[in-house]
Chain A
Amino acid sequence: MTWLNQLLSRRRLYDDLSEEIQQHLEEKIEELVARGMSRSDAIAAARREFGNVSLTEEESREVWQWPSIESFVADIGFGARTLRKSLAFTAIAAFTLALGIGANTAIFSLVNGILLVPLPYPEPDRLVSITGAYPEGALVAMREQVHTMDVGAYAEGHDLNLTGRGEPVRLTATLMSAELFSILKAHAELGRVFEHGEDVPGKDNYVILSHALWQQQFQGDATIIGRPIELEGVGREVVGVMPADFRFPSAKTQIWVPLHNDPGSVSTYWAGDYMPVIGRLRPEATMRQAHAEIRMFQAHAGALFPWPMPASWNADVSVVPLQNGMVADVRLRLLLLLAAVGMVLLIACTNVANLTLSRTATREKEFALRAAMGAGRRRIMRQLLTESVLLASIGGLLGLAFALEGLAFLKSLLPADTPQLMTVHMDWRVLAFTAGLAILTGIFVGLAPALQVSRGALITSLKSGGRGTAVSVSQRLRSALVVSEIALAVLLVIAAGLMIRSFWALSHLNPGFHPEHILTARITPDESFCDDALRCLTFYRTVLDKVQSLPGVSGAAFVNTLPLGGRVSKRSLNIENHVDTPGETAPLFWLNVVTPDYFRVMGIPVLSGRGFEDSDVSGAPVAVVTAETARRFWPDQNAVGKHIRLLDDKDWRTIVGVISDVRAYDLQHNAPTWIDGTAYVPYNPLATLENKRVPSEMTIAIRSTTEGSQLAALLRESVASLSNEVPVSEVQTMDAVVSGAVSTPAATTSLFVAFASLALALGIIGIYGVLSYLVSQRTRELGLRVALGAQRRDVLYLVMKEGAKFSLTGIAIGLVSAVLVTRLMASELYGVSPLDPLTYLAVALVMAAVAFLACYVPTRRAMRVDPVVALRYE
C-alpha cells in the first residue's frame, strides 16, 4: 500500500476500527448480562475491562499515521482555532512579540551585514588588517621584508578636481597601493586593475573609475578605457572600471588613484598619509606567523625613518581579520544595540508569558477535561507550546514586516562610510535568525504555562470547579516574571538615561566657536594652480573681496582645515628654548592657515594678546596658539611674545595671541592624540605645510544673514566669474557641520531611547496585568476581610504591599545589574560615568512612581469590592 493509498483509505480504516471496538463492547455487555449482571453494571464492567476507549482508538489510528507530524498538524489546527477564538488576546500578544522580534531582526540585519557576512572578496578569511598606520616609506619596507603575506595600503580623504568636461567636479578619491586590487582579488568590470609597480613616480599616471562615476560622468562609455581624463589639471589614463558591487574601502569612493611612492620627497614619503595596511596571507602562512613577523618588522621599523621615531609608534601593532579591522568602531555600537533589543524582546516575552499564564488559569477546566479524557501531561504541554510557538510565529511574520520598514531607516542613521553598509539586506541568515527567534520566543512564552499544567493541579482544578489551588504556584511564577521584567526595564532605561546625559553633554558643550549664521564651502583650485604661491594667494584674496561685498555678509575668512571638518594638517615645529625629550622628534602641531578675519568670523575668543590683522600678512612672521598648547609648552608663563618656527624655516615666528580651545578634531577632542599642539598662522607665502607648499585647498567661512542656498548660489557665481575650473564643494552651514559631528551619538541615543520607552511601556503593562489578576483572584478574600470589618485603608495597604514587593525587588535587581553591565558602554559615553548616581537615582524614582501608578488602578478596584457581591461567588 503506498502512502497515498493509505492517506485516501484512512477514513474507512478509522470507521472500521470504531465499529469493531463498538461491537467488541456490545458483545462483552451481552455476555455479562447473559451471566446475570444488570445492564448498567455490565456496561461499566465492560468499559473497565476494555480500558480507555478513545485512547485505544487514537493509538490504533496512530499506527497508520506519521505520528509526530500528524499530531503536530492537529495541534496547530487546534492552536489556530483557540487563537482565533480569543482575538483580542492574540492581537495584543502577537503585536507585542512582533515589536520585539521586529526590532531584533532589524538590528540583527545590520550586525549580520556588517560583522558577519564575509567580505565580498574571494577567500575573505585570508585577508587581514595590520592595525596601526604606516607612511609610504614604511609600507614599501614592509612589502619587501614581510614574507607571510602580501601587503598594501590605502589612503582616504583625497579629493580631486575632475575638469575639462564642463563644470568642474570634485571627486572622492582613494589612493591605493598598486598591489591592493590583486590582494583583494578584485577584478575590473572593464579594462584592468593596477599592476605591480604602478605606484612609483613616472609609472603611476593611471586611474580606475567606480561603476557609479563611470555611469554619471561618462555615460557608461566603454571607449573611455585607455583615454586620459583631466584630474587636478593633469591628464591621467583610465585603465579600468570597477563593478558596481566593488566598494572599497566604502561606497563613498568614486575613483582610485595609485600611491606615489617617491623616496625623493622625504616629507610625503615618511610623513605624508599614515595609512591603514591590509594584507593577504600567502598560501602556507597562518595568522599567527603573520602576527609574529609584523611584530619583528615593527621592532626595527622606527629606525628606517630619517628622523627618530617615538617608541610608542604602532607599539601595539597586531594582525587581525580584515573584517574586524575595518569595522572596529561600529562593532561595539552594534553589539550594544543588539543587547538592548534583546532585552526588549525578553521583556515582551515575559509580558506575553504572563498574559498566557493568566489565560491558562482560566482554561484550567479545559485542560482538566482533556486530561480526564486520557491526554497525557506531555501531550497537553505540547499543545500549549504549539499554541505559543504559533503565536510567536505570527509575531515573527509581523515583526519581519516591521523590520523591513525599520532597516532602511536604521541604515540611514549609520555613517555613510561604514564598510559594507550598502550591501546590508535581509538574507537567509536574517530569516533563519528571525525564525529561530520566533520559535525560541514561543517556547519561552509557553514554558511557564506548560510547566504549570501539572496533573495534580488539574485534577484538583476539575474537582473545585475551576477555582483551583494552582493559583499560588502560578502566582509565584508570575511575580518572578514581573520582577525580571521590571529589572530589565530598569537596566535598559538606565542605559538610555546615560546615553541621553552623554548626548546632552556632547551637544551642549562649547565647541570654542559660534557656528550660527555661518556658511562654509570648500574651494579647491588644482594643486598646480598653487605652484606659484602668489597666484594662489591672489585668487583667494579676490574671492574673499567678492564675497565680502555680497549683501548681508558681515565677514568672511579662509581656513585650510575647518573645525570638525574631518581634516588635520600636521606640521613639525621648533619651539624656542624648549628642550626636546631626547630621542623624540620636534613637536608635531596641527597647523591652521587662516586669513586675518578668521577668529572674528568664527567667533573664537582671543584670550590674551591679539588675533591676526591685515598687516600680519606681509609683516613680520607671527603665530597664534590655543590655550591648551600655551599651557603645555609655556606653563605658568604668558605664551604671548614667545617664539616658534616651522621646521626648516629660517625665521622664528612671534606668538602674538592665545585663543580659546576649539573642538576641531571631534566634539570630544581638540586634536588627535598624536598631535602635540595647535597653532594658527596667517595665509601668506611663508605659511607652508609639510610638503613645503602653501595650502591650495581652502574652506571659506561666511558669516551672513542671507539664507544658505541663496548665499551658496552667489558664492558659486563669484568663484565662477574668476575661474571656471575651480569647483565649489561641501557647501554646508557650520551648524550642519557641528550636528554632523554628533549624528552618530544622536542615532545611537535615539535608538536606545526608543528601546527603553518600549521596555518601560511593556514593564508598566506587566505590573498592571499581574496586579489586576492578583486582585481578581483575591476578590473573595478581600470581600471577606471587608465583611469582617477591614477598612479601605487596610485593603489598600494589602494590595499595594504586594505591588511594592515585586516592583522594589525588580528595581533593586535592575540597579545592581546596571552597575555590573553599563561599564561595557563606557567608551560610548561622554562626560558621564557609567555609574552616574543621578541617572540611577532618577531612573529608580521614575520606575517606582510608574510602578505605583500601575498598582494604583487595580488597587482602587480592590477597594471598591462589595463584600456581598464577593461572597455571592461562593
Chain B
Amino acid sequence: MTKSDQRDLFPGALEMMILRTLKRQRLHGYALVQHIKRTSNDLLEIEEGSLYPALQRLLKAELVKAEWGVSSTNRRVRTYGLTKAGAKHLEQEVSRFERMLDGITRVLAADES
C-alpha cells in the first residue's frame, strides 16, 4: 500500500509506459490503465489508482496535456494526450532504458559463461 509497493517497477517505468501508450492515441485514465494491463498480458500488476499520481506528475511537467470531453460510453472523462516535450522525453527515456537493458543483458550473459 505504500509507495514502494505500488512501484515494483524501476522509477519512471510507469511514466514511460503511460507516455508510450498516449503516443498512439489520446486516452482517459480508465482506458489508459486497462490498455497497459492488457498489453502487458496482466504481467504488471499495477494498482489502478497508482496511475493518477503519475499522471499528475506528467501534467505538472507539461509532458502531457488533459482535456475534459465525453467518452464513447457517454461519460464525462478527462483525456490525456502527449505534448511535443512529452514525445521528446519519451524518446530520451526509451533510448536510456534500452541502453540500460542492454547493459543488464550483457552482465547477465557474462555471468552465465
Question: How far, in whole Å, are A644 and B60 apart by their CA atoms in the complex?
Answer: 101
Inter-chain contacts of B2 with A (CB < 8 A) = 376
Residue of A nearest to B5 (CB): A51
Q: Which of A17, A27, A52 sits near B56, CB closer than 8 Å? A: A17
- 10 A-B residue pairs with CB within 8 Å: A17-B52, A20-B29, A23-B77, A27-B30, A51-B6, A56-B53, A57-B52, A60-B52, A60-B53, A374-B1
Q: Which of A23, A60, A374 sits near B75, CB closer than 8 Å? A: A23
Within residues 27 to 61 of chain B, which ones have a CB less than 8 A from any CB in chain A?
Answer: 28-30, 33, 47-50, 52-53, 55-57, 59-60
Chain B residues close to A by CB (< 8 Å): 1-3, 6, 28-30, 33, 47-50, 52-53, 55-57, 59-60, 66, 68, 73, 75-78
Binary flags per residue of A62-78, CB closer than 8 Å to B gives 1, else 0: 11100000000000000
Q: Which of B29, B53, B68 sits near A63, CB closer than 8 Å? A: B53
Residue A874 interfacial (CB < 8 Å)? no
From known contacts A24-B30, A49-B48, infer whether A59 and B53 are also in contact, taking CB-CB under 8 Å.
Answer: yes
Question: How far, in whole Å, are A21 and B3 apart by their CA atoms in the complex?
Answer: 18
- Asked whether A52 lies within 8 Å of B49 as measured between CB atoms, the reply is yes
Question: How far, in whole Å, are A20 and B27 apart by their CA atoms in the complex?
Answer: 13
Inter-chain contacts of B68 with A (CB < 8 A) = 16
Inter-chain contacts of B76 with A (CB < 8 A) = 19, 23
Question: How far, in whole Å, are A374 and B6 apart by their CA atoms in the complex?
Answer: 14
Inter-chain contacts of A51 with B (CB < 8 A) = 1, 6, 47-50
- Asked whether B52 lies within 8 Å of A28 as measured between CB atoms, the reply is no
Question: How far, in whole Å, are A363 and B29 apart by their CA atoms in the complex?
Answer: 39
Inter-chain contacts of A63 with B (CB < 8 A) = 53, 56-57, 59-60
Question: How far, in whole Å, are A64 and B62 apart by their CA atoms in the complex?
Answer: 12
From known contacts A28-B30, A51-B1, A374-B1, infer whether A20 and B78 are also in contact, taking CB-CB under 8 Å.
Answer: yes
From known contacts A17-B56, A24-B29, A63-B57, infer whether A56 and B1 are also in contact, taking CB-CB under 8 Å.
Answer: no
- Asked whether A56 lies within 8 Å of B52 as measured between CB atoms, the reply is yes
Inter-chain contacts of A57 with B (CB < 8 A) = 52
Within residues 640 to 695 of chain A, which ones have a CB less than 8 A from any CB in chain B?
Answer: none
Q: Which of B1, B73, B78 sits near A16, CB closer than 8 Å? A: B78
> Nearest-CB distance from B67 to chain A (Å)?
11
Inter-chain contacts of A50 with B (CB < 8 A) = 47-49
Binary flags per residue of A324-353, CB closer than 8 Å to B gives 1, else 0: 000000000000000000000000000000
Residue A55 interfacial (CB < 8 Å)? yes
Residue A119 interfacial (CB < 8 Å)? no
Inter-chain contacts of B73 with A (CB < 8 A) = 27, 30
Question: How far, in whole Å, are A46 and B19 apart by their CA atoms in the complex?
Answer: 25
Residue of A nearest to B50 (CB): A51
Inter-chain contacts of B56 with A (CB < 8 A) = 17, 60-61, 63-64
Residue A53 interfacial (CB < 8 Å)? yes
Q: Which of A21, A26, A27, A49 sits near B52, CB closer than 8 Å? A: A21
Residue of A nearest to B6 (CB): A51
Question: How far, in whole Å, are A504 and B77 apart by their CA atoms in the complex?
Answer: 86
**A-B contacts besides A30-B73, A59-B52, 10 pairs, CB < 8 Å:** A19-B78, A23-B30, A28-B48, A50-B48, A51-B50, A56-B53, A60-B56, A63-B56, A63-B57, A64-B60
Inter-chain contacts of A49 with B (CB < 8 A) = 47-48
> Nearest-CB distance from B38 to chain A (Å)?
13
> Nearest-CB distance from B29 to chain A (Å)?
5
> Nearest-CB distance from A650 to chain B (Å)?
102
Question: How far, in whole Å, are A172 and B65 apart by their CA atoms in the complex?
Answer: 83
- Asked whether A24 lies within 8 Å of B48 as measured between CB atoms, the reply is yes
Inter-chain contacts of A20 with B (CB < 8 A) = 28-29, 52, 77-78
Inter-chain contacts of B28 with A (CB < 8 A) = 20, 23
Question: How far, in whole Å, are A787 and B46 apart by their CA atoms in the complex?
Answer: 57
Question: How far, in whole Å, are A16 and B59 apart by their CA atoms in the complex?
Answer: 13
> Nearest-CB distance from B91 to chain A (Å)?
23
> Nearest-CB distance from A502 to chain B (Å)?
61
Question: How far, in whole Å, are A36 and B110 apart by their CA atoms in the complex?
Answer: 51
Inter-chain contacts of B55 with A (CB < 8 A) = 60
Question: How far, in whole Å, are A53 and B53 apart by their CA atoms in the complex?
Answer: 11
Interface centre among A16, A17, A24, A27 (most CB of B within 10 A): A24
> Nearest-CB distance from B53 to chain A (Å)?
4
Inter-chain contacts of A24 with B (CB < 8 A) = 29-30, 33, 48
> Nearest-CB distance from B2 to chain A (Å)?
7
Inter-chain contacts of A17 with B (CB < 8 A) = 52, 56
Inter-chain contacts of B78 with A (CB < 8 A) = 16, 19-20
Residue of B nearest to A20 (CB): B78
Inter-chain contacts of A26 with B (CB < 8 A) = 75
Binary flags per residue of A513-546, CB closer than 8 Å to B gives 1, else 0: 0000000000000000000000000000000000
Inter-chain contacts of A19 with B (CB < 8 A) = 76, 78
Binary flags per residue of A1-37, CB closer than 8 Å to B gives 1, else 0: 0000000000000001101110110111010000000
Inter-chain contacts of B48 with A (CB < 8 A) = 24, 28, 49-51
Residue of A nearest to B46 (CB): A51
Question: How far, in whole Å, are A515 and B9 apart by their CA atoms in the complex?
Answer: 90
Q: Which of B3, B6, B66, B75 sits near A27, CB closer than 8 Å? A: B75
Inter-chain contacts of B59 with A (CB < 8 A) = 63
Question: How far, in whole Å, are A60 and B3 apart by their CA atoms in the complex?
Answer: 12
Question: How far, in whole Å, are A30 and B74 apart by their CA atoms in the complex?
Answer: 13
Question: How far, in whole Å, are A272 and B1 apart by their CA atoms in the complex?
Answer: 85
Q: Which 10 A-B pairs have the closest CB atoms?
A: A56-B49, A51-B49, A51-B47, A63-B56, A59-B53, A60-B56, A50-B49, A50-B48, A60-B53, A60-B52
Question: How far, in whole Å, are A773 and B28 apart by their CA atoms in the complex?
Answer: 56
- Asked whether B30 lies within 8 Å of A53 as measured between CB atoms, the reply is no
> Nearest-CB distance from B64 to chain A (Å)?
13
Question: How far, in whole Å, are A706 and B6 apart by their CA atoms in the complex?
Answer: 94
Question: How far, in whole Å, are A228 and B77 apart by their CA atoms in the complex?
Answer: 98
Question: How far, in whole Å, are A49 and B33 apart by their CA atoms in the complex?
Answer: 11
Inter-chain contacts of A30 with B (CB < 8 A) = 73
Inter-chain contacts of A62 with B (CB < 8 A) = 53
> Nearest-CB distance from B78 to chain A (Å)?
5
Inter-chain contacts of B30 with A (CB < 8 A) = 23-24, 27-28
Question: How far, in whole Å, are A532 and B75 apart by their CA atoms in the complex?
Answer: 120
Inter-chain contacts of B52 with A (CB < 8 A) = 17, 20-21, 56-57, 59-60
Question: How far, in whole Å, are A376 and B60 apart by their CA atoms in the complex?
Answer: 26
Question: How far, in whole Å, are A49 and B37 apart by their CA atoms in the complex?
Answer: 12
Question: How far, in whole Å, are A38 and B75 apart by their CA atoms in the complex?
Answer: 21
Interface centre among B49, B50, B59 (most CB of A within 10 A): B49
Question: How far, in whole Å, are A369 and B98 apart by their CA atoms in the complex?
Answer: 45
Question: How far, in whole Å, are A26 and B48 apart by their CA atoms in the complex?
Answer: 13
Inter-chain contacts of B66 with A (CB < 8 A) = 16
